[in-house]
Structure 1
């Protein structure tokens, strides 16, 4: 079964264009502002929306995303309200893919089957769950694919040739290549380092390779997209929201990043 993610990448491939993915923490700084930003993303040139599910112990995230999660939780954001936000977005946009990015604990607490049914109904297309390694595929990855959701894996600079086949085994939608070792927002991505790694992963899969972590300017977005199938930006956008920038200002910044990736 083809998802919105599969359809989007097929369309981009046909047009010879690179993808721009934007990460937003659901409910940051509050539900209404967050929904307004998310609704504005497609118009700003975003091809895929990565929606963060706030969690109390986000171990893969740097301070910027951690603070966004805290703001969202303090504003009353929950798994249910995150799914509500996706539903509200789907009322006016039935084509832009949404990837829900989070941790396994809230999903496990809800019950995997219940969660997958609710996520699918809410209009979620794929999942990134960073604390479930491939060895745990039967927990969520395999059931998610069976439910018609893509399960997107992270590959990193430390994913060697022995590990890579295991990482790619049940991955679908796209591969998210983490350009640096460490947490989000920690260092800058360099196209010279990323290019050979993307080529190495491409030799092992037909899936699109999208690169994230350490991309914070339109120039960087363009440079990274030029050596991959697209770029994802999170911390740089989230920090603008955290600084209290207006929705219009945030979307203007997103548009500049998207233009960078699309110029690649």
Structure 2
């Protein structure tokens, strides 16, 4: 029997794109989920090629069982805190199991942006790179879904703050999922080129476009973003490095399908 691909975070925004692509390529997939899920829900035929296992990477629960028998691990699970420790737990189990390819999703600017989240993501990269397992790491820009959620919260305020000079290049999760599946099906490649969206926007542009798409009227107040983080973001440390790959789907494409969200 072919060894399964283990996908952590396989039920999330990114995993919902990656898992079907791996299945379409003919590989069995095991999804690690923090909540119990039924196996064989009808979406995967009757070949038993999609299974779910329950575990918690941060608490180091069920990790060995999830990794057992897998030769490729695609690590997509993440959260606002603890990703570095969760990744170290996964790496330990994967090393003991003899995993031959570890694929990681990270964030553009992990090594440059002086924000706690980016430092944490850099910690996940270091854990993978120092694991001794052949690895591939993809740094991606912020997903459209994330920016949509952030803007929805910001625009509930009576006056919407717009940090001056901050630029972003949001990427579609479908594009990231397709690239990750391609990398997982290939040979370990180390740190590959960044993946960002096709367009660089000022954050104020995105705020105005969101307001227009939802028919919301709010005054927008440009404000300076203070401190070391503000200086770094204005310098573009969150933007893709030279030679980056670019997704096909634009922010406008995304908004056109989400105006009622």
Tell whether the structures are fold-level matches, with TM greater than 0.5. no
More helix by share: 1
Per the normalisation by structure 2, the TM-score is: 0.35
